[in-house]
Every structure is written in C-alpha cells, then in structure tokens.
Homo-oligomer: A and B are copies of this chain.
C-alpha cells in the first residue's frame, strides 16, 4: 500500500492502537508491582472488569498475559491470584536471572556500540548521585535501568524478552532488597566492577562480575527474608 522505501517511517509514526487488553495488562502489572494488589490477593474477574471499566473478555486476556509472565497464578475454575512466589522459587528465579545477565555481559562486550556503553556509564553515574540523596524507588528504578541497558546492548531480543519477564517476577524481592541502604556501597562497587569489565571489553570478567552481583543480590534477599520472618512465627 504505502511502502517502497518508507519502511523506516512506519516505525516512527506507529499510531499504536493498543488494545484494551494491553492497557489493562499494563495497569494490572503496575498495581501488582507497587503492591496495591498484594501477593496472594484473589482477583474477581467481574469486580475487576467493573473497576477498570472494561468487559471481562479483554480483562481475561490481560490476566492470562500476566499469568504467562508469572505475575498471576491462574488455576482452572478458580479465582486468579496475584503470584506469591515461595522463597525457594525466588531463589530459582535469581539463579536463572544470573545466567541470563551473565550471557548479556558476554554479548555486550562483543556487540554493544559505543553509544550503548556510554548509556550504561551514564546510568551508573546517575545511580551514584541518587545513592546519596535520592529516594529508594528512584534508586531502584535506576538500578534496574543499569541492568536493562546491559541486556539491551547485548542485542539479543529473545534474551531481552526473557530477562524482562524475570525482572518483573523478581520485582518485589529486588525492591525490598534495594531499599536497604546498608548494602548500597557494596552494590555500587559491584556495579563499578561490571562497568569496568564492560569498558575493557573483557567478556569473561563481565560475565563473572554480573554473576557475582546477581548471586550477591540473591544472598542479600535471603538474609532479608530471614530477618523479616523472625518476628512472625
């Protein structure tokens, strides 16, 4: 119809008629991640559809989408529930995320452009500024950006997709961990090591630094879990 040398324009203009299901998924994801819909919360299709002012059909689609991202558990003939991953499952997620980011580091060294490296550097600089004065949420978001920028620079779209999913599933755990200012210096030092390895275009060192960083995050998360579990029983 309207192609022949205008292929690049399409991307720009992209009028982006997003479906209601897409919007609902986005909205629900946000509600879950920030905790407005807490883990274990049951979701009534009818009630939710009324509250979001959409019909059940697109809402169901949104729910299934989030189920595929492991943010919602859906069992047949039962109310969908906001995922409440067990500690063991969270550990499992961390292990996978670690190898994903490790691969990202290796590929980044091979493929990333100078701009992409500069981007990561810029984010790390910003992170350092926020670390001193900024609020926890902004620090966390920027921390996530650091990792996403590395994955993005790896130029592997499948990896990017899967990494984003695991990030969402790990969101709460990592956020709770990120709020702990006691670990902030160590986190920054690990980031610095990662960045240096990337700048040096040292694949193995980058991979190792990222693996270490993720497994450290996993360990921190376990410590935090034990501390907050203490008062309960």
Contacts and interface: CB of A to CB of B under 8 A. Distances in A.
Contact of A89 (B70, B76, B92, B158): B158
A107 B68 CA distance: 24
B17 A95 contact: no
A103 B107 contact: no
A230 interface: no
A18 B76 CA distance: 7
A152 interface: no
Given A64-B61, A96-B162, A76 B19 contact: yes
A91 to B, nearest CB: 9
A22 B67 CA distance: 14
A144 interface: no
Given A95-B103, A99-B103, A107-B95, A157 B19 contact: no
Contact of A159 (B95, B102, B156): B95
Contacts of A156: 92, 95-96
Contacts of A76: 17-19, 22
Interface string A105-118: 00100000000000
Contact of A96 (B68, B95, B103, B169): B103
Contacts of A166: 158
A160 to B, nearest CB: 9
A135 B85 CA distance: 42
A65 interface: yes
Contacts of A77: 17
Contact of A102 (B17, B64, B99): B99
A17 B61 CA distance: 20
A195 interface: no
A120 interface: no
A208 interface: no
Interface of A: 17-19, 22, 57, 60-61, 64-65, 68, 70, 76-77, 89, 92-93, 95-96, 99-100, 102-103, 107, 156-159, 162, 166, 169
8 contacts: A57-B57, A64-B64, A89-B157, A95-B159, A96-B162, A99-B99, A99-B100, A158-B169
3 nearest A-B residue pairs (beta carbon): A68-B68, A92-B156, A99-B99
